[in-house]
Amino acid sequence: MKKGSLLIGACGVLQIIFAIYLFALCGVLFSSETFVLDLSTGFVKVFNSSPSIEVTRNGFLAIFVVLAFFALVLGVLRFKQIRVELGEYYKDSSKLVSSMIYMLICACLFFVLFGICNQADVYIPLILVAAIIPLVTFLVTLFAIVVFHIGKKNSLKPKPASIVATGDHYTALKRLNSLKESGEISKKEYEKEKEKILGK
């Protein structure tokens, strides 16, 4: 399996973890009055508005559920992408760009929420974790796109025609060696062509 497939798998796993984490935060919203009060306090001190606990709970519940749903869908799509194109460098990395943008938006939203709560002297580590997971996913996705572009660039290099056609083994081996040293062919390709020349 190539690096690209592993990175796509990592993106999918991180997105699904993020979705599960957000669903867990929904559970915390219902089970912990303190968590809801902390969120509410942050908005009261920063925006001078005081929403009720029920409004705060229901508002954040709706936001968390929507974000979790989209993260879950994108995570599952990453696994579908691996299954369809397993072991290949993708011709088009635009499928990853949507995930990358979504995770960046999620990270920014949670960092802003964490900042709002911090302004009100309320430290909520659960929100910080909810910001870090999509940020890490964003970085992994960005790395995956870079790997795909490198893989695409390498796959576009013209592969040398079979060197066996020259007939002269010494010249063919010499030419093959120069191709390997210049980096035009990999060591694996070198060994394969060498076996063809020597008739093994």
Tens-place pLDDT, residues 45-88: 766 766 677 777 888 888 889 999 988 888 888 777 665 554 44
For residues 38 and 124, the answer to whether their CB atoms sit within 8 Å is yes
Spatial neighbors of 77 by CB under 8 A, at least 6 apart, are: 12, 95, 99
User: What residue numbers bound the domain in which 177 lies?
Assistant: 163-198
- Give the separation between CA 61 and CA 64, rounded to whole angstroms: 5
> What pLDDT, on a 0 to 100 scale, did the predictor assign at position 3?
64
User: Does one domain contain both 192 and 145?
Assistant: no
User: Does one domain contain both 132 and 190?
Assistant: no
For residues 166 and 196, the answer to whether their CB atoms sit within 8 Å is no
> What pLDDT, on a 0 to 100 scale, did the predictor assign at position 19?
92
The end-to-end CA distance of the chain, in Å, is: 28
Domain count, the chain: 2
Mean pLDDT along residues 118-126: 80
User: Does one domain contain both 21 and 96?
Assistant: yes
Higher local confidence (pLDDT), 136 or 116? 136
> What pLDDT, on a 0 to 100 scale, did the predictor assign at position 136?
92
- Give the separation between CA 140 and CA 134, rounded to whole angstroms: 10
Q: Is pTM, for the whole model, over 0.85?
A: no
Q: Which residue in this structure is represented by tokens 């709560």?
A: 117
User: Does one domain contain both 132 and 184?
Assistant: no
pLDDT at 91 over 80: no
Packing angle of the helix pair 33-47, 3-31 (nearest 10 deg):
90
